[in-house]
Amino acid sequence: MTTTGEPRQGDPTEAAGPATRAMVEGDSQSEPSGAPGGNGTAIGGELLRDEHLATRDAEVVEPTSWLRLAATTFAENRLALVGLGVIVFMVLFSFVGPLIYHTNQVATNLIDENLSPSAAHLLGTSPEGRDELGRLMVGGQSTIEVGLGVGLLSTLFGLVYGALAGYVGGVVDAVLMRIVDAMLSIPYLFFVVLLAALIRPNLLVVILVLSAVSWLSTARLVRGETLSLRERDYVVAAKGFGSRAREIVRRHVTPNLLGVVVVNGTLTVANAILAFASITYLGLGPPPPATSWGNMLSTGINNLFDGYWWQLWPAAFLIVVTVLAINVIGDGLADVVEVRLQKR
Amino acid sequence: MTERVLEVEHLVTEFRLRSGPVRAVDDVSFHVDAGECVGLVGESGCGKSTTGLSIMRLLPQVGHIVGGRIVLGGRDLVGLSEEEMRRVRGREVAMVFQDPMTSLNPTMTIGRQVAEPLRIHERMPKEQARERALELLRLVGIPNPAERLDDYPHQLSGGLRQRVVIATALAAQPKLLIADEPTTALDVTIQAQILDLLDELRESLGMALVLITHDMGVIAGRTDRVMVMYAGKIVEGAPTVELFRHMRHPYAEALLESIPQLDQDADAPLYSIPGHPPDLSEPQVGCRFAPRCRYATQECSTTEPPVVEEEGNRFVACYHPVGESQGSRRHMVDQEQTLRWHAAATARRAALEGAPLLVEVEHLVKEFPIRRGILQRAKDSVKAVSDVSFAIRQGETFGLAGESGCGKSTIGRLVVALDRPTSGRIRLGGQELLRLGSAELRRRRRDVQLMFQDPYASLDPRMRVGSILREPLLVQGIGDRRAQWQAVARLLGEVGLSRKATGLYPHEFSGGQRQRIGLARALTLEPRLVVADEQALQERHGLTYLVISHDLAVLRYLSDTIGVMYLGKLVEVGPAGRVYDAPAHPYTRGLIGSIPIPDPSRERSKRGGGIRGELPSPVHPPSGCRFRTRCPLAEPICAEQEPPMQVFGPGHAAACHFPLQTPTTDAPAPPGVVLGQPREPEPV
C-alpha cells in the first residue's frame, strides 16, 4: 500500500504545495512548519471575516456521487479501459460467438482431424476433428466462469474472514488464523486429485476447489491490513462519536482495504485461469467433450511436434491476453481506490 | 581576521517535477565564518532545508543546482563529481536531520554507526575507531558511553539518539555542521540540552554551524547571524541581536508576531499572516511577499525589490522596510479587535466564577500491562497515570502540560471514554460515562469529543470532507439528509473553509486546513467537552476544553487553568497566569525556563538553568517524588515520601517537599484536587 504522508522538510512536493492549497478559498493560514503553536492559530481571525458564509450557506452542499467520481478516474487510465474492452470482447466471443458461428463441439469427426486453417475452418481443427475457433469459444465459457467465479468467491470470503479475524482479534483471530495456516499447508493439487477420484468434477466443483485454496492468501492479507487499520486515529475517532463496530467495518475498514483486495482479486482471477489450465492439463478437470483454454493448450502441446500450431497458439494467446487484461483492470481499480494519488 | 568556511553565492536550486520546474531556492547568498552560527529561518516550504541539502549536494533525484557557487574551504562544491563530493561529506561538512530515529540505521549498534565515518574517511582500524567512537559519545554527553556502544537506536530515548546523530556527524571533524531542525522532534527540556551541546561543541571545536529552524526562540538564543527566508529568497539578513532589536522586513516582523509568547497579553488575538506563500512553479513578479504584506504598494507587485545593504552589517530586500521604532507588541493586530477580545476574556472569566463543574477526575490511575511469554502473562506495567485528580468548570479551558510520556494524552483518551481507567473515577456533569450501558454510552459519546494530535491521521483518507463531517450526524441519527448537509455547510463556514471542501479529500488540504476540518468534526455533535490533543485553538465557540500540549507558550495563551504533569503525576495546578508567573513546583519552573524566548538578551542570559537528564522509565518510576532524579532541590526525604498537594493561593496547588513559595492555608483549593496524603489507588 502506498501511504503518502505529510511532506517532509525539503520534500520537493512541499514547494509545489500552495498550488493544491489554493484550491480551497477562504483559507488564509500562515503556517510556521512543525510548530504546534503556529498551526491553526489563525482560526479566530478567519472566523470574523467569514461569518457571512455561515448564514448565507444554508443551501445543501452534497458533493458529487462517489460512483461518478470513480468512473471518471477509471476512465482516465487508458490501459485499464483497453483491458475492460478486451474482457468484454472475450465474454462476447465466448458466450455470443457460438450463436453466430455454429459448430459441433460434441461429436467426434475423424475425417476432419488435425486440418490446418482454411475457409471452412478458420483456425483449423482439433485431433477429434472439431472446429478450433468454435472450440475456443466454448472453452472460453468455462475459463471465464472459473476465473471470475473463483476471483469473486475467494475474494468475498477471504475479505469477510480476514476482516473478522483482524477486527475482533484475540482468541477469535488466533483460531481463525490457525485454520488458515493448516489449510495452507495442504498442496492444492492434493485436493483436486482427491476430489477427481471421489466424484466426477464439473465446473462448479472446480470453482469451489480453486476458491477453497485461493481465499487463504486473501484472508491473511486482509487480516494483516485490518489489524493496522483498527488502530488508526480515524477509526478511534469514529468510536469517539459513537459508531458501532459494524458501522466502522463498513465505512472505514472495508473501503480502506479495497486497494489491496482489488489488486489481490485480479491476481486471483489470473491465477485461477492458470490453475484451471493446469488442472485440465493434468486431465483432472471436467471430462471431454467439455473443454477450456487450458485443456486446449495441453492438447496443443501434445501435438506440437506434429506441426499443428493452430491447436496451441490461439489458446495460449487468449489466456495470456485475458490475464493481462484483468491485471490492467486491477491497476485501474487501484487508481480509483487510491484517492490520494488522483490528480484533480 | 576570521576564516571564511562557507560562501554561498547566488545559489539557485530547482526541482524538476512532471508538472514543470519549481524554483525552491532562488538567488541565495550568505557566508559562514569559522566558529560562527548562522540561522536560516522561515515557514515550511521557504527553501531553508533545500539550501542545506544543496550545500551537502544531497538533493532528491529531481533536485538540481542550476546556478551559483557553494565555496567550502576554497573549493566550489557545485562542480564536484559525486566521488569527490563523497570525500567532502563528513570530513568537511556534515548534516544533522530532524528525526533522529530515521537518520540512524535501526539494525546497527550506535558504536558502529559513530565509527562508520572514521572507517570510511580515515580507514581507521576497527579497534581504534571503536575507541574514538567512545570518545565521541562521551563528548556529546551520553551517560555511561562504554555501556551504550553496543546498544541499538531503539534502546535510546529521542534526546540520546539525537546526541548519537551529532556524534556521527562530528566523527570526521567537519569544519561546518548543518543542523536541520535538530530539536523539532524533541521535548523542550531535551531541546535546550541538545542546543547547549551544539553551542559547546561549536566553541570547543571551532566549528561553524548553520542552524535551520522555524523557531524564532531558538534563533534568538543560539545564532550569531540570521537569514530570514521567504519563498526561496533571503529577504533579510542581520546579526541576531540587531534583527531582534528591530526587524526591517515586514515578513520577518509578521513571523515574530504570529507566534504565541509567554510574556505577551494572553487575552489579545494573535496576528496571522493572510494568504499563502506563492506557488514557486510559476514565474515570480515583484516582491514575493507583496500579496500578504500590509505595507505593499503598486511598486512591490511589479518590480522585485533589490537587496539593500544597511548600517550594522545587515541587509534587507524591501521597498518599505519597517521603521526603527519597535513600538509595543501586538501592534499588527488592530486595536478595536484587541479591545473586543479583552472584553470577551473578562466576561468569560466572570462567567467562570461559580460555574458548575463539568468534568471531575478523581484518583485516576491507568496502567498498561506489559505482557511477555507464550501465556501473555502481565509481567509488569507502564504506570501511565498515577492517582491524578482535577476538575474542569463549565466553559473553562483547562491546559494539561508536560513532556512526552508524562501521561497527558492517556488522560485525554480516558476523559473521552476511549479507554477504561485501571481505577479512579471520571464524571461528566456528575455522571460516570463508563458506568452507562453500551447503548446509552454510545448515545452520550456525543457529549465528549477528541481532537487528535495528528489531524491528517484522524481523517479517513478515502472519505471526502463532506462525508467526514456528516458521519457523526449519521451515526447518531440526527436530522434527515438535507438537515445534515446543511449542518455540514454551516460547520465549514464556522471554521472558515469554503463549501467546495465537501467534495475534496483530506490530502488535498494543507496542515492548518486539516486541523480546521478536525475541529469542525469535533463540533458537529455540539459536545459539552472537547479534548484537544496538541491542538491550538483560538476560537472557543463557548465550549469547555481540555487542551493537551507540550508547548507551554501555546497553553499560556489558550488556557484559563493549567495542570502540569510529570511521569503520570499531576505536580502543579492553578490559574494560567499564576502558574507561569509564580510557579510553585521546580519542574514547572524548569519547564517554563526551557521554552526558547524570541529575545536574544533574555534567551542568552538563562543558559544552563534548564532541567537536566531524561525522563525515567514509567515502568519503574522513582520512589517518593517522581521528579527527584532531575530536581535541583532534591533531598533524601524526596525519595522516601511522596509529597502531598499543598495550596499556594486561590485555586493554585502543587505537590513538592521544597516548593518555590510558602503554602497558604486560608486560600481556596483548586476544584477537584484532593489535598493531603495521596490515597493508595485501589485495584478494580
- Residue B494 and residue B550 in one domain: no
Residue of chain B whose alpha carbon sits nearest to that of A54? B493
Is A60's CB within 8 Å of B482's CB? yes
A202 touches B: beta carbon within 8 Å: no
Alpha carbon distance A151, A270 (integer Å): 8
Distance from CA of A39 to the nearest CA of B (A): 6
Q: Which residues contact B314 (CB under 8 A, 6 or more apart)?
A: B236, B237, B238, B239, B242, B243, B248
Which residues 243-272 in chain B show a CB within 8 A of chain A?
Answer: 254-255, 258-260, 269-270, 272
- Residue B391 and residue B418 in one domain: yes
- The string of pLDDT tens digits covering residues A168-187 is 888 889 999 999 999 888 88
Report ipTM (2 d.p.). 0.74
Which residues 201-220 in chain B show a CB within 8 A of chain A?
Answer: 214-215
Alpha carbon distance B184, B189 (integer Å): 12
Element housing B137 (H / E): helix B126-139
**CATH for A66-97+127-341, options being 2.60.40.10, 3.40.50.10780, 3.30.70.120, 1.10.3720.10:** 1.10.3720.10
Question: Which of B259, B485, B524 has the CB atom closest to A38's CB atom?
Answer: B259
More confident residue, A45 or A338: A338
Question: Which of A19, A22, A43 has the CB atom closest to B537's CB atom?
Answer: A43
A341 touches B: beta carbon within 8 Å: no
More confident residue, A127 or B541: A127
Distance from CA of A173 to the nearest CA of B (A): 15
- For residue B149, the SS3 value is coil
- Residue B377 and residue B451 in one domain: no
Q: Which residues of A touch B52 (CB under 8 A)?
A: 10
The single-letter code of the amino acid at B189 is T
Side-chain-facing half-sphere of B604: CA atoms under 13 Å = 13
A67 touches B: beta carbon within 8 Å: no
- Residue B204 and residue B110 in one domain: yes
A65 touches B: beta carbon within 8 Å: no
Provide block-wise average pLDDT over 10 residues at a time, chain B (684 residues).
Answer: 86 85 91 93 87 91 90 90 89 86 86 88 87 88 85 84 89 90 83 87 89 90 93 92 88 84 71 79 87 86 89 89 54 68 79 87 90 71 91 92 87 91 91 86 90 86 89 90 89 83 83 84 90 71 85 84 94 92 92 85 72 83 91 90 91 92 83 66 48
Residue of chain B whose alpha carbon sits nearest to that of A237? B458
Number of neighbours of residue A67 by Cβ within 10 angstroms: 8
Q: How many residues are present in chain B?
A: 684
- For residue B242, the SS3 value is helix
Show the 3-state SS of B440-504: HHHHHHHHEEEECCCCCCCCCCCCCHHHHHHHHHHHHCCCCHHHHHHHHHHHHHHCCCCHHHHHC
Strand partners, B4: B33
Residue of chain B whose alpha carbon sits nearest to that of A38? B259
Identify the CA nearest to B591 among candidates B90, B293, B192.
B192
CA distances from B12 to B18, B67, B305 (A): 19, 5, 18
CA distances from B101 to A323, B97, B185, B374 (A): 43, 10, 10, 30
Q: How many residues are present in chain A?
A: 344
Distance from CA of A71 to the nearest CA of B (A): 16
Judged against a pLDDT cut of 70, whether residue A272 lies above it is answered with yes
To which residue does cell 485454520 refer? Answer: A179
Identify the CA nearest to B41 among candidates B202, B211, B199, B214.
B214
In a domain, B593, yes or no: yes
To which residue does cell 522509565 refer? Answer: B617
To which residue does cell 565564518 refer? Answer: B33
- Residue B48 and residue B191 in one domain: yes
Strand partners, A133: none
Is B510's CB within 8 Å of A15's CB? no
Q: Which residues of A touch B466 (CB under 8 A)?
A: 61-63
- How many structural domains are present in chain B? 3
Q: Where are the domains of chain A?
A: 66-97+127-341
Question: Dihedral through CA B456, CA B458, CA B461, CA B466, nearest 10?
Answer: -100
- Residue B519 and residue B617 in one domain: no
Distance from CA of B255 to the nearest CA of A (A): 8
- For residue A161, the SS3 value is helix
Q: Which residues of B touch A14 (CB under 8 A)?
A: 44-45
In a domain, B585, yes or no: yes
CA distances from A268 to A275, A319, A330, B209, B317 (A): 10, 14, 11, 56, 62
Q: Where are the alpha helices (H) located in B495-565, listed in sequence order?
A: 511-524, 552-558
Which residues 51-80 in chain B show a CB within 8 A of chain A?
Answer: 52-53, 60, 62-63
- The string of pLDDT tens digits covering residues A210-262 is 888 889 989 999 999 999 888 888 999 998 888 888 889 888 888 888 878 88
| Residue A64 in grid coordinates | 458529487
The single-letter code of the amino acid at A42 is A
Residue of chain A whose alpha carbon sits nearest to that of B418? A240
Question: Which of A39, A60, A62 has the CB atom closest to B536's CB atom?
Answer: A39
Is A12's CB within 8 Å of B515's CB? no
Q: Which residues of A touch B232 (CB under 8 A)?
A: 15
Number of neighbours of residue B458 by Cβ within 10 angstroms: 26
Is A242's CB within 8 Å of B539's CB? no
A307 φψ region: left (φ > 0), alpha (ψ -120 to 50), beta (else): left
- Residue B681 and residue B570 in one domain: yes
In a domain, B331, yes or no: no
pLDDT of residue B328: 41
| Residue B243 in grid coordinates | 534583527
| Residue A99 in grid coordinates | 450463436
A26 touches B: beta carbon within 8 Å: yes
DSSP states of A225-294: HHHHHHTSHHHHHHHHTT--HHHHIIIIIHHHHHHHHHHHHHHHHHHHHHHHHHHHHTT-SSPTT---HH
Is B535's CB within 8 Å of A64's CB? no
Q: Which residues of B touch A60 (CB under 8 A)?
A: 482, 485-486, 489
**Do residues B280 and B298 touch, judged by C-beta distance below 8 A?**
no
Backbone angles phi, psi at B71, to 5 degrees: -95, 115
- Residue B389 and residue B451 in one domain: no
Which residues 254-283 in chain A show a CB within 8 A of chain B?
Answer: 255-256, 258
| Residue B67 in grid coordinates | 546556478
Is A57's CB within 8 Å of B490's CB? yes
Distance from CA of B443 to the nearest CA of A (A): 6
Q: How far is CA B447 from the centre of its chain?
A: 29
Instruction: Mark which of B242, B274, B306 sits at the end of a domain.
Output: B242
Q: Which residues of A touch B280 (CB under 8 A)?
A: 15-16, 18
Alpha carbon distance B634, B625 (integer Å): 9
Instruction: Mark which of B205, B222, B242 sits at the end of a domain.
Output: B242
Alpha carbon distance B574, B559 (integer Å): 11
Is B493's CB within 8 Å of A17's CB? no
Pairing of strands B569-575, B652-655: antiparallel
More confident residue, B661 or A107: B661
Strand order in the sheet with B397-401: B448-451, B529-533, B544-549, B397-401, B561-566, B569-575, B652-655, B645-649
| Residue B671 in grid coordinates | 476544584
Alpha carbon distance A294, A273 (integer Å): 8
Residue ranges making up the domain that contains B113? 4-242
Residue of chain A whose alpha carbon sits nearest to that of B517? A40
Pairing of strands B357-372, B377-393: antiparallel
Is B272's CB within 8 Å of A40's CB? no
In a domain, B282, yes or no: no
Q: Where are the alpha helices (H) located in B17-106, listed in sequence order?
A: 48-56, 82-88
Identify the CA nearest to B399 among candidates B534, B265, B276, B499.
B534
In a domain, B603, yes or no: yes
- Residue B507 and residue B449 in one domain: yes
Q: Which residues of A touch B22 (CB under 8 A)?
A: 12, 15-16
- Residue B409 and residue B436 in one domain: no
A72 touches B: beta carbon within 8 Å: no
Positive or negative, the CA dihedral B634, B635, B639, B641 is negative
pLDDT of residue A57: 42
- Residue B417 and residue B502 in one domain: no
**Cα Rg for chain B, rounded, in angstroms?**
27
| Residue B97 in grid coordinates | 536531520
Instruction: Mark which of B507, B527, B547 sits at the end of a domain.
Output: B527
Judged against a pLDDT cut of 90, whether residue A154 lies above it is answered with yes
CATH number, residue B212: 3.40.50.300
In a domain, B194, yes or no: yes
Alpha carbon distance B402, B155 (integer Å): 22
- Residue B95 and residue B116 in one domain: yes
Distance from CA of A226 to the nearest CA of B (A): 14
Question: Which of A39, A44, A256 has the CB atom closest to B511's CB atom?
Answer: A39
- For residue B582, the SS3 value is coil
pLDDT of residue B676: 59
**Do residues B532 and A27 touch, judged by C-beta distance below 8 A?**
no
Which residues 336-355 in chain B show a CB within 8 A of chain A?
Answer: 337
Judged against a pLDDT cut of 60, whether residue A167 lies above it is answered with yes
Alpha carbon distance B242, A255 (integer Å): 56
Identify the CA nearest to A165 among candidates A218, A103, A108.
A218
The per-residue pLDDT of chain A, averaged, comes to 75
Is A232's CB within 8 Å of B457's CB? yes
Q: How far is CA B19 from the centre of its chain?
A: 33
A288 touches B: beta carbon within 8 Å: no
pLDDT of residue A21: 35
- Supply the DSSP symbol for B171: T
